[in-house]
Amino acid sequence: MSTASPVVGVLALQGDYQKHRQMLDRVGVSSCDVRTADDFSRADRLIIPGGESTVIADLLRRFSLQETFSAYIRSRPVWGTCAGMILLAARVNDETVNPYGVIDIDVDRNGYGRQFFSDIRPGHMQLDGVDHRLDLVFIRAPRVTRVGDGVAVLLTCDGDPVLLAQNNVLVSAFHPELTDSVLLHRYFALTFAAEVTA
């Protein structure tokens, strides 16, 4: 696998994986749906989309993908958005979800409240020395309640960390695939944790 033209996989069991594929198309990188063990081996990087963490976890189990998924997220660049973030966390305040524990954060699963309280908030992020304005879309989003020592907070919103990274793992509480900006898809596909794939 090469870092020059990565194939970015999107876990396509449930959730808004098609929106992520469309963003990756706009960035101009190759992408694929990931539903089988073979699909995992084709993907250089993986996005775990928003949706419903309990359902995605259950489908990984039903399709006997737990071990493949677990090995993948420990060794390749991965980005969990919303439900994906919940699955990658160390601890979740809801025993119906067993997170995979690859980033040292704790999350409150529906910490931003119910669907009714979904909203779009403004954010600013420095990338490559440039300040970018982002719309941050929160839909029944997880709230980060603890950040471990080795975790970098890349973006906060109203005082809460909402974009974080540790080693090969990137997580966002919000949904960048539902906005016009491809900034974070470009960052994840081409820049993030490049050394992991070297």
Which residues are the active-site residues?
A: 82, 175, 177
Q: Is 176 helix (H, G, I), strand (E, B) or coil?
A: helix
Stretch that binds ligand GLN, among 25-33, 48-56, 119-127, 153-161 (CB under 6 A): 48-56
- Binding of residue 161 to ligand GLN (CB under 6 A): no
Alpha helices in 112-169 (DSSP H): none
With contact defined as beta carbons under 8 Å apart, do 86 and 109 qualify? yes
Residues 122-141 that bind ligand GLN (CB under 6 A): 139-140
Q: How far is the CB of 126 from ligand GLN (least distance, A)?
A: 26
Give CA–CA dist 7/167, Å, rounded: 20
Candidate list 6, 9, 51, 77; residue touching ligand GLN; CB under 6 A: 51
Candidate list 10, 23, 29, 53; residue touching ligand GLN; CB under 6 A: 53
- Binding of residue 103 to ligand GLN (CB under 6 A): no
Alpha helices in 47-156 (DSSP H): 53-62, 66-73, 83-88
Give CA–CA dist 22/157, Å, rounded: 26
Q: Is 146 helix (H, G, I), strand (E, B) or coil?
A: strand
Q: Which is nearer to ligand GLN, 51 or 77 (CB)?
A: 51
Q: Which is nearer to ligand GLN, 57 or 151 (CB)?
A: 57
By CB neighbour count within 10 A (0-12 exposed, 13-18 middle, 19+ buried), where does 35 fall?
middle
Residues 74-93 that bind ligand GLN (CB under 6 A): 82-83, 86
Strand partners, 132: 125
What is the rounded end-to-end Cα distance, in angstroms, of the chain? Answer: 9
- Could you tell me how many residues of this chain bind ligand GLN (CB under 6 A)? 11
Q: Give the helix/strand (H/E) hosting 154.
A: strand 152-157
- Binding of residue 109 to ligand GLN (CB under 6 A): yes
> What token pair was written down for 27?
């960035």
Q: Which is nearer to ligand GLN, 44 or 82 (CB)?
A: 82
Q: Which is nearer to ligand GLN, 22 or 110 (CB)?
A: 110
- Binding of residue 58 to ligand GLN (CB under 6 A): no
Q: Which is nearer to ligand GLN, 33 or 94 (CB)?
A: 94
Question: Which spans of this chain sit near ligand GLN (rule: CB under 6 A)?
Answer: 50-53, 82-83, 86, 109-110, 139-140
